[in-house]
């Protein structure tokens, strides 16, 4: 059985000047952080960022699941169904916000794999507080 769920997916930014240009992103799930999904974007490597730099947004796996069907979320991350076949994810930070569109089938496949690893409602049985704190302090 896999130890994590990782799904590459192309995302677009419908509110941008180039709404049809896809950017490679990745959804991942680690059973050691059973409540969280991670959406990451690769960055161009340079001497200041090292190899394989990326920007990661962590948010509730439940939020992603609920937002596929109806608007969900408050604060920095909101998820809602978009036009046919897409899920809209709004990420907001101190200097702005971005709305991205992800293929609904790719989001559904990621969620199915993550729920196969840690079923909804069983997250607390998979939570290792010490390991979670260590990970937070290492990042």
Which of 33, 1, 41 is CA-nearest to residue 133?
Answer: 33
Cβ atoms of residues 35 and 124 within 8 Å: no
Q: Residue 61: pLDDT above 60?
A: yes
Cβ atoms of residues 13 and 39 within 8 Å: no
Which of 62, 60, 80 is CA-nearest to residue 70?
Answer: 80
User: H or E segment at 114?
Assistant: helix 104-117
Site of tokens 């990970």: 135
Total-model pTM: 0.82
For 116-132, letters b (16+ CB in 10 Å) and e give: ebbeeeebeeeeeeeee
Q: Which tens digit of pLDDT belongs to each residue from 96-116? A: 899 999 999 999 999 999 999
Q: How sure is the predictor about 1, in pLDDT bands with cuts at 50, 70 and 90?
A: very low
Regarding predicted confidence, which is higher, 56 or 123? 56
pLDDT at 139: 62
Q: Residue 126: pLDDT above 90?
A: no
User: H or E segment at 65?
Assistant: helix 61-67
pLDDT at 49: 54
């Amino acid at each position: 059985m896999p130890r994590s769920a990782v799904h590459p997916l192309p995302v677009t930014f419908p509110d941008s000047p180039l709404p049809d240009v896809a950017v490679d992103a990745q959804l991942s799930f680690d059973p050691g952080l059973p409540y969280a999904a991670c959406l990451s974007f690769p960055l161009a490597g340079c001497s200041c960022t090292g190899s394989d730099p990326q920007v990661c947004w962590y948010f509730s796996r439940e939020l992603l699941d609920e937002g596929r069907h109806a608007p969900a979320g408050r604060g920095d991350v909101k998820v809602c169904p978009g036009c046919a076949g897409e899920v809209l994810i709004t990420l907001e930070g101190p200097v702005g916000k971005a709305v991205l569109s992800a293929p609904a089938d790719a989001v559904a496949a990621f969620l199915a794999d993550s729920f196969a690893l840690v079923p909804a409602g069983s997250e607390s049985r998979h939570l290792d507080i010490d390991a979670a704190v260590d990970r937070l302090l290492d990042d």
